[in-house]
Amino acid sequence: MAPARTATTPIVLKKSSYYLLGTVAVIALAAIGLTRTTTTNELPAHSADASPGERIFWAGGCASCHATPVDGKRAKGDDKLLLGGGLELDTPFGVFHVPNISPHVEDGIGDWSMLEFVNAMQHGVSPDGRHYYPSFPYTSYAKMNTEDVMDLRAYLATLPEVAGTTPEHALDFPWSVRRGIGLWKRMNLKSDPVIDVAEDDEQLLLGRYLVESAGHCGECHTPRDGFGGMIASEWLGGAANPDGEGKVPDITPSGKNVSGWSASDIAYYLESGFTPDFDTVGGTMVAVQENMSRLSADDRAAIAAYLNAVPAAHPTN
């Protein structure tokens, strides 16, 4: 057995040297400016309207993270409109503290310009030019129509101001190096759709838009690679729970939890929170379902049609 051990040891050393080299290369690339922020300087000619923006607010699930918890519990009812932040996301990368996005001028985003808001939502860049961590799902929001983002901004401006700021994120090295996110974005920030659907099927196009962009369903339901990028070939195929124990289920046609669900079953689940078996929605999906219940029946039907049309992530199941 002794020779085998001596044969193994140098390989392990080699692997770690490669890892070290890789890390050095990443830092070097970062140093030569690949991590610069990319933003847009032009807004589409669009007059932002708060009324359609409310639909985007619920589709986008802003309140699920940004509404200030009440007595340590998830905000419910009208408390979902108090976006003072404060929720903690305990992830394998460290703890994220969700910030205040209420219209408060000093503590929230009240003094942001429309352009700054769009750059935050679709490019993951703060008004002072820093990269946001992708815990803020801008990789999905990048796929939104900018007009919808502008309407959302108009709606957010109508909500109550909430005072108070939240702590900085407490992340472990190397995730604490914010500049590295620039590289990550180069690999993962894309504005084109994930799944091909018939370009003349308006319902599927709407469903794809709601699921892939604003709804950001893939952020939890799609597994990620070693660098935290979503694996497109397993789109919505289920993943480890990013915030806690257990798994987030496969919601493609191969998913055991949604096996045999018709489009009307999915739509009714999103409306009422009841599965076809008459069990109730649970876990982090409760907040999502409550948001979806605020959408129109047409929007929910479109989401359902899209979910039944996506490729099975695990066809052999």
User: Shortest gap between Cβ of 73 and another protein (angstroms)?
Assistant: 8
Q: In angstroms, rounded to a whole number, what is the distance separating the alpha carbons of residues 133 and 144?
A: 19
Q: Does 3 bind another protein (CB under 8 A)?
A: no
Q: In angstroms, rounded to a whole number, what is the distance separating the alpha carbons of residues 131 and 154?
A: 23
Complex with another protein: residue 176 or 280, whichever CB lies closer: 280
Among 295, 305, 309, 231, residue whose Cα is nearest residue 52: 295
Q: Does 281 bind another protein (CB under 8 A)?
A: yes
Complex with another protein: residue 37 or 284, whichever CB lies closer: 284
Q: Which stretch binds another protein (CB under 8 A): 1-9, 155-163, 203-211, 269-277?
A: 269-277
Q: Does 284 bind another protein (CB under 8 A)?
A: no
Q: What 3-state class would DSSP assign to 242? A: coil
Helix pair 50-60, 285-292: axis angle to 10 deg: 150
Choose, by CB under 8 A, the member of 4, 73, 260, 316 that binds another protein: 73
Q: Does 268 bind another protein (CB under 8 A)?
A: yes
Q: In angstroms, rounded to a whole number, what is the distance separating the alpha carbons of residues 214 and 61?
A: 8
Complex with another protein: residue 44 or 282, whichever CB lies closer: 282
User: Shortest gap between Cβ of 288 and another protein (angstroms)?
Assistant: 12
Choose, by CB under 8 A, the member of 127, 193, 273, 311 that binds another protein: 273
Residues present in the chain in total: 317
Q: Does 129 bind another protein (CB under 8 A)?
A: no
CB distance 135 to 89 below 8 Å: yes
Complex with another protein: residue 161 or 271, whichever CB lies closer: 271
Complex with another protein: residue 175 or 274, whichever CB lies closer: 274
* Residues contacting another protein: total by CB under 8 A: 15
Q: Does 78 bind another protein (CB under 8 A)?
A: no
Cβ density class 261-280: b for 16+ within 10 Å, e for less: bebebbbbbbbebebeeeee
Q: Does 311 bind another protein (CB under 8 A)?
A: no
Among 117, 119, 188, residue whose Cα is nearest residue 153: 117
Q: In angstroms, rounded to a whole number, what is the distance separating the alpha carbons of residues 142 and 39?
A: 11
User: Shortest gap between Cβ of 263 and another protein (angstroms)?
Assistant: 12
Q: What is the enclosing helix (H) or strand (E) of 49?
A: none
Q: In angstroms, rounded to a whole number, what is the distance separating the alpha carbons of residues 136 and 62?
A: 10
Q: Does 279 bind another protein (CB under 8 A)?
A: yes
**Side chain identity, residue 154:** A
Choose, by CB under 8 A, the member of 196, 260, 278, 296 that binds another protein: 278
Q: Which stretch binds another protein (CB under 8 A): 61-69, 148-156, 157-165, 280-288?
A: 280-288
User: Shortest gap between Cβ of 51 and another protein (angstroms)?
Assistant: 25
User: Shortest gap between Cβ of 91 and another protein (angstroms)?
Assistant: 20
Q: In angstroms, rounded to a whole number, what is the distance separating the alpha carbons of residues 202 and 245?
A: 38
Residue ranges in 226-255 that form contacts with another protein under rule CB under 8 A: 246
Pairing of strands 94-97, 170-171: antiparallel
Binding interface with another protein (CB under 8 A): 73, 246, 264, 268, 272-274, 277-283, 286
